[in-house]
Structure 1
């Protein structure tokens, strides 16, 4: 696609380019000149640079500029850039680093991919070849680390989650609330975008690591610690809120009958995997893991590669109407095994006698959970095996 065509398409799509910069005076001018070949819709965010950045930007009066007095972090610079882009009426923003590692002639790749996509609610991340010799080993390791956690938090597999060369859908970004302001922001934004329903994808780009020009402001210990804390929080939110939310949305949309037919019976998993997923859900739901059942069942389903949806659904057997029955059966089973007298529920309510009978309840609860999960698991396996055979012959 020719430059004139790209320029026209960028205007049609209401797209701009945001360039966050901090003490990259060696490469900034080259980056801006190359971006100007494709569009004049550029927003430069000077994040408190102490070098000659201001003098360089003084030569570009045609470019929208934001000058932050004191360095606050790349995430804050991007957030300010997004805010200005939205106020100027842009629908999309391409972000490109000013340290020279990205090639502005890859901008047409983002534009063509967006133009050809039916779904414009799209966030594109430039995927670098992290195996080439010039790429620092710490960058390659950090990217793999980030890719894993992104998959855990969203279920989406990406080749590169750390590249700063991206295309953002601003209407979706405007709906999100962010808390981070430094390098970890670029993780927060793509995770929350995926949670919102934005399609997050990689496209291949070129990359250059020239240590004679490139200035990296990444501080391994501090920034890696920030990223680790953020990922820990995002994983907790994923298991306690996002996955249950998405499941209940599908359940509400399809209805209970249709949900069971499509998510359970119609699932392509093997009968053994489905039955084991049910057994896991029942065991966690009936065991005394109050308050931790959701995160436990989803974590174990991931570890053992089971069906997370099925496991989660059956773990919700311990809903409020059933809790008194489950507790009673647990105590009854425990008192039978330990040959103890069943405690009175009147005493339990009045004198907190449940604490004195905790051993009885825990033994009985785990025993009951084991019996039920194994029994229902075996019955489910037989049912799914028969169902799959019938489905094969029809």
Structure 2
């Protein structure tokens, strides 16, 4: 096979392997036993054949045939199959007889290669002699491939310095020249591309002269979008799902984290969704989704504000213990609630006409203020009463 035909189909593994059979001195030899070509390109598969020249008893040869995909032990003749109409064509040169042998050549051309064209192709020569069918075995193996971009990081001290390599599943013959496209624009040449790849950039490669046959895009993940379902207020005990979606190639890995304190976080889940079947008050906080590919990573944040009724409602006094008449004392009610609770005060289980506040101060406590106090916390999600506290007011002695 000449360089021109090799370049046309980007052929690889050009191994001349005699493929003969039939009877006696009949032979079929293919130019290569393995052919690799890009999807969408055109490829030529060629062979030579020869048979003995018996002078006046020379067989009258019938048009040679190419076939593949034996079905029910019957070969499919490409030029006779509707699947290949307009997709394949064959051409043969004149037969030359010199000395005691006759020689001929034939070429099968397959255009606009498809993945389904990956197969073994064989040449058959039929004559008018009894049993005069001669097939070249083992045939030619055609592999149809796409270009791919291989990603690596050559500098361990700089994780953003990236090396991209344009390659196929089988080497392409003729040392083809590769062209790189950055964000769709033609750029550098060469099998490798090195540089810092930024979020949102995309890259592909092609062989010069076949720019339309580009590799799939490789690009760093864009900042992912994160959502919470259901949206709006989240009530304790309900089912909540955090979802992360990001556009990336190579395919991305998703990891969810919860921020614990400051720069620290804990790894929660692998996958694009984080599901709380019955969310707890302790699940309130800030979460972020990390999207990672071979190229780089990106993340985004979301905060869960849990809504729940009052918990751990308690009351205390300042100062505590015995309190002298005329001194100042403050009663405080505390409760964990979201949204914040409103407070009601009680004395001996009877509501007081105080302002509904978290604290109540006696500027000058009196003996009649002596007694048992408690508070009640309430918001739209629930209510809870506190413990009781005894305010012990001692009288000032008069002499």
TM-score (norm 2): 0.23
Higher CA-based Rg = 2
Q: Which has the higher helix share?
A: 1
TM-score, length-scaled by structure 1: 0.23
User: Comparing both chains, which one has the higher relative contact order based on Cα–Cα distances under 8 Å and sequence gaps of 6 or more?
Assistant: 1
